[in-house]
Structure 1
């Protein structure tokens, strides 16, 4: 039967010991994990590549959002969810499955190492299965998410060179301004035009995009840090990442209490501020602190 929760029951009967395992695995496809991954790469590995990963993920998230809104298929009944499971928007296709397929596939295509292909494949499969196991998705949601993620990945890899050449014609400031305007329009559309599924996330995405644009522009103009730490001392990178992530996550938690979720513009402002902290404020601090 199509969109039948029986696969959830089957997986749990097959692996009754795996509740904690899949609850942890599903977090590898969460916003928190992607934030940590991208910021770690931006602060301590390769800035440009980390920014590219941001664009790749945004394309996938945007595509997933609009397809979910068009299909408007509800999630499985919460009676099938594991305790503590949290999912607030529509079900089809699975964003975890789609985003992980596109993101880890893109990273693998750039790393070009056999072990990266193996790790990425295992992660994508496990993240997808976890969504069915914990009960927040049907198996069909995951299959469709995987298919869309890989289709977008292939399209991106085929057009990457042309896209790079196209955007190279414009100044960085122009591109960031365009990105900011896109985020502004997205937030306005979310507020005034779109139907609001529970905890609609398009306004959040608009705020995040605006914050990324502002943060990266300010970083380029006033900080322009290098990933290589002073004196080549790698321990400084560890401090840079650990303290930076603690700061960003503290900001996410603190701002959630100040800027409530039920107002689209306030929610967008919260995401924008977090992005600015990660892209500009913390780099400014760790550069001055010589980390």
Structure 2
């Protein structure tokens, strides 16, 4: 294990770097993705939003499955006397590969392969590197965790960029179903919270895309102020579902139980289904 690299970054600890790398790490967390997906899907390019969502949710399933199969300890777990965990709220699972880095890299490079601009790839590479360093600085990943995650993130984004936009809606739905089918045994055999959440998101996305494309079919032909209303209202809807059901389900099931995991899959599935599929009905009903 590359513990010496982790120790080197942790030797740089200061108030400034603690704040800086915590903020970098935050960029790879769910609320940032909700914001970006909301802006892209509701107000910029619906197809691009679907592509980014699918790439992100697939990567989440893939990463969490690998984590559970490898079952590696994090630096602060393996070397508790040498490494400090500076972000315990995002280091509850296993170490290899890094979910933050893999998801963040896949998301950034998926956009990069879409826009095909060199400067975008430069920015994406710098941000991915900073995310990798942040996770080591915070004591939650080894060097090999983040390096493999960057590679997997780029390969995932590249693979989907080559065919996603060439598939019609029916074939995309088949792609979703194949993905869900492949990961279903792992979800229920490995039984882990983040894996259930990613599973719920993918199922919710499938339902949302089928529903929206058949019954809603919203367009981007509205004013900027109406797009702002779409995004802000959509964020309120998705966060209300995510946080509200989280409080309710925590009261219904004990922490770490399979029941809570299943409820989390339902919760995140509803976030995707209602947020991306049902909520856009209001665009036509209230003309925004």
TM-score (norm 1): 0.84
**d(CA) in 2 for partners of 1:221, 1:153:** 27
Confirm or deny that 1:8 pairs with 2:35.
no
Local SS of the residue matching 1:201 = helix
Q: Would the aligned equivalents of 2:110 and 2:157 in 1 still touch at CA under 8 Å?
A: yes
* Residue number in structure 1 paired with 2:146: 142
1:61 lines up with 2:60 in the alignment: yes
Which structure has more relative contact order (CA 8 Å, sep 6+)? It is: 2
Query: Which residue does the alignment assign to 2:247?
Result: 257
Which stretch shifts more, 7-16 or 88-97? 7-16
SS state of the match for residue 14, structure 1?
A: coil
Alignment correspondent of 1:216: 209
Tell me if the contact between 1:211 and 1:276 (Cα under 8 Å) persists in the aligned partners. yes
Residues of 1 paired with 2:278 and 2:86: CA distance? 38
* Secondary structure class of the residue paired with 2:86: coil
Q: Distance in 2 between matches of 1:150 and 1:273?
A: 28
- The answer to whether the 8 Å contact 2:205/2:273 transfers is yes
- What is the CA–CA distance in structure 2 between the aligned matches of 1:105 and 1:50, rounded to whole Å? 14
Residues 1:274 and 2:278 aligned together? no
Distance 2:19 2:270 in 1: 33
Q: Give yes or no for contact 1:187–1:203 (8 Å, CA) kept in 2.
A: no
Gaps of 5+ in 2: none
Q: How far has the Cα of 1:81 moved from its partner?
A: 0.7
Q: Is the 8 A contact 2:58 2:202 kept in 1?
A: no
1:150-169 matches, within 5 Å, as 150-157=154-161, 160-161=162-163, 167-168=167-168
Q: 1:93 to 1:247 in 2, by over 3 A?
A: same
1:98 aligns with 2:102: yes
Deviates more, 1:46-55 or 1:281-290: 281-290
Distance 1:177 1:63, change over 3 A: closer
Offset, 1:187: 5.2
Counterpart contact for 2:37–2:49, Cα < 8 Å = yes
What are the superposed Cα offsets for residues 18-44 of structure 1, whole Å, 9 maximum, x if unpaired? 111111111211222222212221100
Task: Give the structure 1 partner of residue 51 of structure 2.
Answer: 52
RMSD in angstroms over aligned alpha carbons? Answer: 2.5
Q: How has the CA–CA distance of structure 1 residues 188 and 141 changed in structure 2, closer, same or farther, with 3 Å as cutoff?
A: closer
Shift of the 271–36 alpha-carbon distance from structure 1 to 2, 3 Å rule, reads same
Q: 1:284 to 1:87 in 2, by over 3 A?
A: same
Whether contact under 8 Å (1:184, 1:206) holds in the other structure is no
Gaps of 5+ in 1: none
